[in-house]
Structure 1
């Protein structure tokens, strides 16, 4: 019998067809990176102070700023949120909350903060705006998970590119905070509906030896998107123009509705064999090879819900799912938290962000070396432990409470970013290999739900540095990221290794160590609904000890 991997190997594991498709699928990563992380600059601390009568200072914001009366008999102090009046003896005669502000143009000339006055009592609205985007990604993950297994990967992507183009454009013309919030939510939702299929389709269309390369290089394009964003933000200081600059290229993604094919692996699993074989023949033709015969051992999956219920009845798979979900939560929270915290640990935000992007690229690149040599498990555990140790080490400079040592905090933060980026590059591949095609989209989406919950929490963790105004306050978010990273790294030791394993198509592939094990763990069921009374053919994957 021919497995899908056998067919892909025979017609080209990563031939010309897959390379062309891959080149197309990595482009959205540039745009989604920019749209996801744009708030690092647009919602970063925008220096301000209260506006006072006859105030002509619009670009230099000094604290406190003094304004004298005509006869110097009184003094007015304009701080960030209050205007205080003093008499000639220096006593406060009045103190009022200001209703208008002057904003610095040192980093950004205009931001949502200055347009919608997200300062003082409204400062928490910044975190809400970031949370709205990540809330959208949470909804996008759920939709992608449900629709991805039911109607296919391509329809999800098609809906996503339509929504992404519309929402990112509409955000430019946000006339109030509510519209800004809604458009950011819709942008977040659609980025995941584009991002997920553009990763899944190439991974499901290449052979095992190319899977790591495909999974990691696409992450490097995310880093390239970060570098592009940093350059754009440096030269374009008006947030609306910056948003428009990123939104316009999204219109090019509309062509994907026509040019990107459905995953043939998924088509086979839902019984659409003719369509799948047509795509496989096209792959063979472009690759200069010949497709002989058909795939015969991929069972038809009528409902992925059945497989999910089986997973929930199997303690080993439930444990695996739980651990993976916690790891996704930790990685996402730490990853986005470290990025959002880049402008609050000292130094120049543009330089910090650029270095962070380079460090992230190095983290992903390390996966190419370590993954195929030492395995996914070693990569996952080692990178998370490195993140934990580096972030927890920021306690030392924080204890010294010396601003001149902020470079140590920045360095440790970058080491943590390296570790969590390596973990991010590895976890998608690792999760894909731990679960079967019949429920892979659902498992990835459910794990992504926990990741999105982590990203929802991340802006509030990062903003702790604003609430605790000290060196320890700057280190507090990093300490939280460190504790989570260390815990996730150690608990991941329970998971099995999947190096050089065949990508499992059904739960049957995972559980079929032998007939006795299948009947004990999975009574009366296989991928076709038959009883399992005869020995089952073992795949490379199913020979490995798993939990």
Structure 2
């Protein structure tokens, strides 16, 4: 029975038209990297200590550095076996009524909690942590910034999976981009942290839904033998985004403007509704064979090919829909031929890889050292992982490399204290990339 893959061979499995579509859709992965792991810079928690207004004034009079001011404000406490200035306690001393010189003796006084906010060793920069004082007892609220995004990811994956199958890939992608621009800009302008969390969740809802729709559309318009390659390269652009992110963060010193740079590209992606055609596979699944034929003929023309008359008749009379619909579509519709156990295992592995990979990336922000350089290196090591997938997945198969990568990842977690963190990221990136390819290609 003739399938759409056979027809696509006549039209060109990866010609000029598909390359143009691929180049456009790959750009979607660049801002997605900033949305996903930008919290490393947007929510950076610098060294901080309790603010004492009188000490701030005296620092100017005495010419103290911030570190010297911290010395007379924050007591030393034992943190992991090392004495460090306290971030959440201060000396219980009224500096306004105390006669102290610019070179006071070491203090041995009672301690008290914060009364006048915090000072941050983050001069000239602003994260949402420093803006809303999300430290000490409120430090857990920083994680809510990422948690609400992940909740949005979860809901968006299901919602846009249904919408893309019900109303088409192109329309769903348009809707997601309109929501992305709106919610992303609202996050940048939100006056309080609660509203930031709410619209951050909406932002994640649309970003993930649009990204998945984009992935499906791209794999549905190329020939069968090219799907694995475009799928991996599509995700490699996420790694490119990880390389660009620390450069942006270095020059953009305010987290709100950084948020604007994450949301602004989706204005451009709105134009894709007129630049990228609908998936012929989806149109055929909706019994819109005449429209699918028009798009495929236009695709063939751009590829400098011409559909034979027999293939045109195939669209109307001989198309076998069950062989043509992508496995990604079937998965969203819930009619995939995969056994339930395999589907559940794939979901669990995908969840585990995503959580641990995200945790490793976020660890860069609290591990000390140069956060910009460390993050850049963590993104750089993802490229060897992607190339390993390209070279091994067809020669060895899916299951053995996939299982091996997960075993290595698990062992790495157990001995994490003895190996470089970047190597762990490499293990999980290999596993994370294979999950998408394994599920989208398995027949």
Task: Indicate whether the TM-score tops 0.5.
Answer: yes
Which position in structure 2 is the counterpart of 1:102?
119
Contact 1:137/1:188 (8 A) holds in 2 = yes
Which position in structure 2 is the counterpart of 1:443?
none
- Of 412, 420, 429, 1:390 maps to 412
Alignment of 1:202 with 2:218, yes or no, is yes
Contact 1:388/1:416 (8 A) holds in 2 = no
Q: Look up the SS of the partner of 2:395 in the other structure.
A: helix
**Take 2:168 and 2:12, find their aligned partners in 1: how far apart are those partners?**
24
Contact 2:165/2:333 (8 A) holds in 1 = no
**Take 1:67 and 1:94, find their aligned partners in 2: how far apart are those partners?**
10
Alignment of 1:120 with 2:136, yes or no, is yes
Contact 1:169/1:247 (8 A) holds in 2 = yes
C-alpha distance after superposition, 1:307-333 (max 9, x if no partner): 96766xx8x611111111111111111
Contact 1:11/1:290 (8 A) holds in 2 = yes
C-alpha distance after superposition, 1:342-381 (max 9, x if no partner): 2233432111110111111221121111112222222312
Which position in structure 2 is the counterpart of 1:428?
436
Q: Look up the SS of the partner of 2:35 in the other structure.
A: helix
**Take 1:307 and 1:394, find their aligned partners in 2: how far apart are those partners?**
36
Q: Look up the SS of the partner of 1:373 in the other structure.
A: coil
Q: Look up the SS of the partner of 1:374 in the other structure.
A: coil
Which position in structure 2 is the counterpart of 1:190?
206
C-alpha distance after superposition, 1:256-286 (max 9, x if no partner): 1222221111111221111111111111111
Which position in structure 2 is the counterpart of 1:160?
176
Pairs aligned (count): 408
Contact 2:33/2:242 (8 A) holds in 1 = yes
Which position in structure 2 is the counterpart of 1:84?
91
**Take 1:433 and 1:153, find their aligned partners in 2: how far apart are those partners?**
19
Which position in structure 1 is the counterpart of 2:369?
347
Alignment of 1:211 with 2:211, yes or no, is no
**Take 2:40 and 2:7, find their aligned partners in 1: how far apart are those partners?**
45
Pick closer, same or farther for the CA change 1:317–1:308 going to 2, 3 Å: farther
Unaligned runs of at least 5 residues, structure 2: 75-83, 99-104
Which position in structure 2 is the counterpart of 1:66?
72
Pick closer, same or farther for the CA change 1:236–1:62 going to 2, 3 Å: farther
Cα deviation, residue 78, structure 1: 8.1
Which position in structure 1 is the counterpart of 2:16?
16
Q: Look up the SS of the partner of 1:206 in the other structure.
A: coil
C-alpha distance after superposition, 1:194-235 (max 9, x if no partner): 211111111011112111110011111111111111101112
Pick closer, same or farther for the CA change 1:309–1:138 going to 2, 3 Å: closer
Contact 2:161/2:332 (8 A) holds in 1 = no
Mean CA deviation greater in 54-63 or 271-280: 54-63
Which position in structure 1 is the counterpart of 2:283?
267
Report the TM-score when normalising by structure 1. Answer: 0.69
Unaligned runs of at least 5 residues, structure 1: 69-76, 398-407, 435-503, 505-547
Contact 1:204/1:263 (8 A) holds in 2 = yes
Cα deviation, residue 62, structure 1: 6.4
Q: Look up the SS of the partner of 1:55 in the other structure.
A: helix
Pick closer, same or farther for the CA change 1:320–1:17 going to 2, 3 Å: same
Which position in structure 2 is the counterpart of 1:27?
27
Which position in structure 2 is the counterpart of 1:357?
379
> Cα RMSD (Å) of the superposition?
2.8
Contact 1:63/1:79 (8 A) holds in 2 = no
Which position in structure 1 is the counterpart of 2:345?
323
Cα deviation, residue 241, structure 1: 2.2
Which position in structure 2 is the counterpart of 1:137?
153
C-alpha distance after superposition, 1:91-119 (max 9, x if no partner): 5445233341111116x711101111111
Report the TM-score when normalising by structure 2. Answer: 0.85
Alignment of 1:290 with 2:290, yes or no, is no
Pick closer, same or farther for the CA change 1:306–1:168 going to 2, 3 Å: closer
Pick closer, same or farther for the CA change 1:275–1:220 going to 2, 3 Å: same
